[in-house]
Amino acid sequence: MKMRYWAFLSYSSQDGAACRRLQRAIERYRIPRRLVGTPGRAGPVPRRVFPVFRDRDELPLSADIGSSVRDALRASRCLIVLGSPRSATSRWVNEEVRSFKALGRQDRVLAVILDGEPNASDVVGREHLECFAPALRHEVDAEGRIVAARAEPIAGDLRRGGDGFRRTVLKAVAGSVGLGLDELVRRDVRRRRARAALLGVLALGLIAAGWLRWDFTRTKTGIYAVTVDRWGVPQGLRRISEGDAEHLDRSYVVETREGLVRRVSCRSRSGALVEDPELRGVTTQVIVYDEHSQPIRIDGLSRWGACILRCKLGSLRREGGKARRRIEFLHGLNDLPLTPERDAKRTERSDITSQEITYDDAGRIEERMFTNAYGRPRHDERGVVLERWQYEAGLGPSRIEYLLPDGSASTDNVGIASVEFERDAMGRVTRERLRGPQGELRIGTRGWAERQTAWGQDDCQESLFDAAGAPTMGVDGWHRRTREVRGGGLHVRTAHFLASGDPAYCLDGWHCQVDEFDASGELVVRSYVDGAGQPSTDKRGVYRIEFVRSGEGARVREAHFAIKGPALDTHGRHAVERVVDVNGNVLQERSFNEADEPTVNNQGWHQIISEYGPLGVRSTEAYFGVDLLPTVSVHGVHRAVNVVDERGSIVEQATFDARGAPCVGRIGAHRLVRQLDSHGRVIENRLFDIESRPTRGVGGWHHAVTRYDEAGNVTEELMFDEADSPVRGDFGWHRRVRAYDGWGREVESRHFGVNGEALQGPSGAHHVRTIRDAWGRTLDERLFDAAGSPTVGRFGWHRVEFTYDDRGNNIEERLYGPSGEPVADVRGWHRSVRRFDEQNRVLGWKFFGTDEKPATVPNGYHEWRNTYNAVGRDVLWAVYGTDGAPAVHTSGWHRHERVFDQLGRIVAERAWGVRGEPVAGAEGAHHLTYVYDASGRVSVERMFGPGGVPVVGFDGWHRRVHAYDRFGHELEPEDHDLQGRRLPR
């Protein structure tokens, strides 16, 4: 049969406009002259691909396609199918493809994707996105039957971010006449150049423009040491080679196309995806743009490719001559606001879920204000609401100062007004200084005022200094921390040191941590050594942890070891094995003992099996014993079932026993039913028993109602019984009403009974009013009765005043009565004064009476003093009387001394009298010693008198031996007398 048409266009009538455009482009395209007449798929290559058959509309409803269409199919050299969710469900498109393939021309079928996803019908929940008809996805036999064998049609991609229209046309032309795409593209470029040569300078410009367009639209990849924010989009800073990246713990692979950043991936030395330290759990950021090339969204992907964080970028606007935009942080699965804790279910609090960013002319962050889901300014956990960034040399910020929303100067919770940074050529921070309001160096929350970092090719060293520039110990127990990388990143040693250079032990109890990685950059072994390089343990008694990972990097096995033999983790198991799905969800978890045999952990189960819904929220979890039969956890539950709504919020929870029967869970009920508002906040809770009858749970209520103001603050809470009648819950009230200041901080609370009557709250008053400073700290708290009159609460005062130093430490409290008169509380003092050192540690307390004279508290002293050792542990307590002379604590000592080992555990305590003489302390002995087992638990206690003479304490024992079960639960101790005889208990 004569081939009248070069191509047959098969499409859905809903895609008619796109089809007409494509047809015109294909028919009008002139094949480069040098390719015309060369051998093609169906004879010599023509000058143009013309004509192309396109039926005008979908065929009328009938059982078969028309004969004219069949004739056109037989007379067409190839078939071009426009793929979209509309054509994928069109019976006529499917029939045209099937009929064409049945002619034996399966290799002449081309596809052009308009939208949707190829083969999406293979993925549960994404079937509606399928863009290929069944006959296009599968092969067709000579009888026209669609068979199981899959077909892979050559496809051009017209979707956003795909091939683009011109390249798609070239693919269609090349596929129609049988030319190679690369050859056609090259000839096309040559033709443009030849035409440019003939047209002179103008033509040369057109050729250059064509080449630049090609270069502009292709995806380019670069490796960078760090990234910075530009107009809300991460950009690479300091491009490096692959060789340089092998010497960095983390580097960033940045993909750009058409001048826009499309994807940023954080990678390890080995090139494996790793978490970005600025975005917990995120390894890759995918930037999405609108049709005007403006960024509208950044999707944060986990190492498994699941979207776990979504940053919604508001429109860039100009206000006061500055460019600004709002960035909202949303849960990647359900678009609910994310708090700083990355918990989408906690938005009932007025938490920070967005930022208001102001940019400079270069697109760098100039100001960053923290706001909640309603756009209201909020202080973050540091006490900072607004940051102003300053730059030098185009690197990251060289200075960040803290401000209030009106632009006035502010500080964080501990009086830091600004932070200064110095950076190396790679953009890494080499020096960080914390400064107070007057520009003076000041110690921050981590115990240092200046941190210096020296970067080597494969190692780095951090050192901490105080405000005077002298070496200091941070709150983590070290002055200097070193990190050495060896073996191309396969071995990493992290060690801590004192200012003297001697080994230091961090709060977790180790001096040096040795990490070993596999070839893909995954951690496989972690162990600890002491200052001499000998095996050591952390505070738990663990020397070594071994990890096994799946091919995707999921941790599927973890085993703990002591220096000699297996060790147990905090769950009472030596090893744990997991089954993890492609999204990183743990489907199964099993526990093993020291012999690597199945065991029951201290939560009461050997195996837990979990199931997850399409939004990644756990729908069920069930517990099993070592025999893999159903069992119950320590909470008496075998299986817990969650019902999840379309946003991924849990709206119902129920618990069942090992027989599958309903049971009562931790909340004191079998089933919890929630009602949520449009923001995903819980507004109602109801509890039901195993018979599905209304019941009261552990809070003493069946039905709880929560109401919010427009800023998302909880303003009212009510509790009801099984009949929906008002009830006073276990907290003693039916209704609580709260009010807030403009920052979302509670400033008033009231409590009411079932009949609306005023009740006393936990403070002993009906109404509590609070005045707070700019950082949310309480300055003044007052108590009132139901009539609004001042009243005295349960601790003996009506009003309490708090005073803070410029670092945010509470240095004074004063108590007053209803008439403003000074009063003493139930402990006997009107005013308390506290002293702090530069690292914000409490050095002592003093107490005063209503006459402002020194007062003695019930424990027998006026003043308490603390002394700390070089690593920040309080090693000495001492008490003094109102005259400043040594006093005696009610426990019998003036000074109480504590001795710590290098792991931070108390190994001895001693009591001393006012003249420095040994005395008996609270236990009846002057000197107590403690010995620990391999797991870091106290195993033996002994009591001694002056001179180390063994004595018995008030309870009659000299030596107490502690024992634990295999889960770490303490058993009844054994007491022994001075002769070593066991005492009856």
Digit-coded pLDDT (tens) for 411-470: 988 889 999 999 888 888 999 999 999 999 999 989 999 999 998 888 899 999 999 999
Q: Judge whether 330 and 338 are in contact, CB under 8 Å.
A: yes
- For the segment 703-721, what is each residue's pLDDT rounded down to a tens digit? 999 999 888 889 999 999 9
What's the confidence (pLDDT) of residue 654?
96
- For the segment 273-284, what is each residue's pLDDT rounded down to a tens digit? 888 888 777 899
Please list the residues that pair with 318 across neighbouring strands: 323
Mean pLDDT of the chain: 88
CA distance 739 to 729: 21
Mean pLDDT of 798-826: 93
Residue 175 shares a structural domain with residue 259: no
**Phi and psi for 312 in degrees, rounded to 5?**
-95, 115
Identity of the residue numbered 901? D
Residue 166 shares a structural domain with residue 255: no
Is residue 673 in a domain?
no
Q: Judge whether 514 and 524 are in contact, CB under 8 Å.
A: no
CA distance 502 to 494: 15
CA distance 604 to 600: 6
- For the segment 622-676, what is each residue's pLDDT rounded down to a tens digit? 999 999 999 999 889 999 999 988 877 889 999 999 999 999 999 999 999 999 9
What's the confidence (pLDDT) of residue 576?
96
Output the CA torsion 67→72→74→79 (10° steps).
-130
Pairing of strands 154-157, 109-113: parallel
Residue 164 shares a structural domain with residue 244: no
What's the confidence (pLDDT) of residue 759?
92
For 26, the 3-state DSSP assignment is: helix
Residue span of the structural domain in which 920 resides: 879-983
Considering only CA atoms, which of 483, 418, 468, 429 is closest in space to residue 451? 429
Phi-psi region of 580 (alpha: psi -120 to 50; beta: other; left: phi over 0): beta
Q: Judge whether 505 and 511 are in contact, CB under 8 Å.
A: yes
Is residue 945 in a domain?
yes
CA distance 701 to 685: 10
Provide the 8-state DSSP code for 899.
E
**Phi and psi for 957 in degrees, rounded to 5?**
-120, 150
For 47, the 3-state DSSP assignment is: coil
What's the confidence (pLDDT) of residue 247?
81
Considering only CA atoms, which of 187, 232, 223, 196 is closest in space to residue 324? 232
**Where do runs of H (alpha helix) occur along 218-279?**
242-245
Provide the 8-state DSSP code for 69.
H
Phi-psi region of 144 (alpha: psi -120 to 50; beta: other; left: phi over 0): left
Please list the residues that pair with 676 across neighbouring strands: 682
pLDDT at 61 > cutoff 50:
no
What's the confidence (pLDDT) of residue 344?
29
Is residue 115 in a domain?
yes
Q: What is the CATH number of the domain that holds 103?
A: 3.40.50.10140
Mean pLDDT of 790-795: 93
- What is the CA 333 to chain-centroid distance, rounded? 14
What's the confidence (pLDDT) of residue 376?
84
Q: Judge whether 878 and 906 are in contact, CB under 8 Å.
A: no
Residue 30 shares a structural domain with residue 119: yes
Q: What is the CATH number of the domain that holds 963?
A: 2.40.128
pLDDT at 346 > cutoff 50:
no
Element (H, E) at 607: strand 607-612
Is residue 662 in a domain?
no
Pairing of strands 429-435, 418-423: antiparallel
What's the confidence (pLDDT) of residue 348?
32
**Phi and psi for 839 in degrees, rounded to 5?**
-95, 15
For residue 300 the two structure tokens come to: 């944060």
Would you tell me how many other CB atoms lie within 10 Å of the CB of residue 644?
A: 19
**Phi and psi for 120 in degrees, rounded to 5?**
-65, -20
Please list the residues that pair with 40 across neighbouring strands: 43
- 3-state secondary structure string across 751-816: EECCCCCEECCCCCCCEEEEEECCCCCEEEEEEECCCCCECCCCCCCCEEEEEECCCCCEEEEEEE
Q: Which residue has the higher pLDDT, 912 or 395?
A: 912
| CA dihedral for 497, 502, 507, 513, sign (positive or negative) | positive
Residue 21 shares a structural domain with residue 165: yes
Pairing of strands 5-10, 76-83: parallel
What's the confidence (pLDDT) of residue 967?
67
Residue 11 shares a structural domain with residue 83: yes
Question: How many residues are there in the chain?
Answer: 985
Using 50, 70 and 90 to split pLDDT, how confident is the model at 342?
A: very low
Is residue 487 in a domain?
no
pLDDT at 349 > cutoff 50:
no
CA distance 578 to 731: 41
Q: Judge whether 687 and 667 are in contact, CB under 8 Å.
A: yes
Calculate the alpha carbon distances from 895 to 540, 740, 888, 913 in Å: 30, 45, 8, 7
Residue 12 shares a structural domain with residue 151: yes
Q: Judge whether 624 and 606 are in contact, CB under 8 Å.
A: yes
What's the confidence (pLDDT) of residue 839?
83
For residue 962 the two structure tokens come to: 């502690």
Q: Judge whether 805 and 831 are in contact, CB under 8 Å.
A: no
For 20, the 3-state DSSP assignment is: helix
Q: Judge whether 565 and 594 are in contact, CB under 8 Å.
A: yes
Calculate the alpha carbon distances from 94 to 11, 66, 153, 563 in Å: 10, 14, 14, 68
For residue 938 the two structure tokens come to: 């106290």
- For the segment 624-633, what is each residue's pLDDT rounded down to a tens digit? 999 999 999 9
pLDDT at 347 > cutoff 60:
no
- For the segment 175-233, what is each residue's pLDDT rounded down to a tens digit? 888 888 787 777 776 766 666 666 665 656 665 666 666 666 678 889 998 888 888 89
Mean pLDDT of 93-119: 91
pLDDT at 350 > cutoff 50:
no
What's the confidence (pLDDT) of residue 58?
39
- For the segment 717-735, what is each residue's pLDDT rounded down to a tens digit? 999 999 999 999 988 899 9
Pairing of strands 778-784, 767-772: antiparallel
Contacts of 174 (CB under 8 A, 6+ apart): 180, 181, 183, 184
Identity of the residue numbered 944? F
Residue 105 shares a structural domain with residue 240: no
Identity of the residue numbered 244? D
Of 316, 345, 374, the residue that ends a domain is 345
Mean pLDDT of 555-565: 92
pLDDT at 167 > cutoff 80:
yes
pLDDT at 340 > cutoff 60:
no
Residue 39 shares a structural domain with residue 158: yes
Q: What percent of the chain has pLDDT over 70?
A: 94
Residue 148 shares a structural domain with residue 273: no
Q: Judge whether 567 and 539 are in contact, CB under 8 Å.
A: no
Of 305, 320, 345, the residue that ends a domain is 345
CA distance 131 to 716: 50
Preceding peptide of 153 cis, ω within 30°: no
CA distance 804 to 138: 74
Is residue 647 in a domain?
no
Identity of the residue numbered 675? Q
Q: Judge whether 407 and 393 are in contact, CB under 8 Å.
A: no
CA distance 185 to 214: 10
- What is the CA 430 to chain-centroid distance, rounded? 26
Contacts of 106 (CB under 8 A, 6+ apart): 139, 140, 151
HSE, side-chain direction, 13 A CA sphere, residue 569: 17
What's the confidence (pLDDT) of residue 62?
41
Helix-strand-coil split of the chain, %, nearest 5:
10, 40, 50
Is residue 224 in a domain?
yes
Residue 108 shares a structural domain with residue 168: yes
Is residue 713 in a domain?
no
What's the confidence (pLDDT) of residue 341?
39
Q: Judge whether 111 and 117 are in contact, CB under 8 Å.
A: no
pTM higher than 0.75 for the full model?
Answer: no
What's the confidence (pLDDT) of residue 111?
92
What's the confidence (pLDDT) of residue 334?
64
For residue 304 the two structure tokens come to: 């498994």
- For the segment 942-970, what is each residue's pLDDT rounded down to a tens digit? 999 988 899 999 989 999 999 987 667 78
**Phi and psi for 228 in degrees, rounded to 5?**
-130, 160
- What is the CA 245 to chain-centroid distance, rounded? 25
Residue 274 shares a structural domain with residue 174: no
Q: State the maximum Cα–Cα separation within the chain, in Å, rounded to a whole number.
A: 119
**DSSP calls for 175-211:** HHHT--HHHHHHHHHHHHHHHHHHHTHHHHHHHHHHH
Of 345, 366, 396, the residue that ends a domain is 345
**Where do runs of H (alpha helix) occur along 218-329?**
242-245
Structural domains counted in the chain: 3
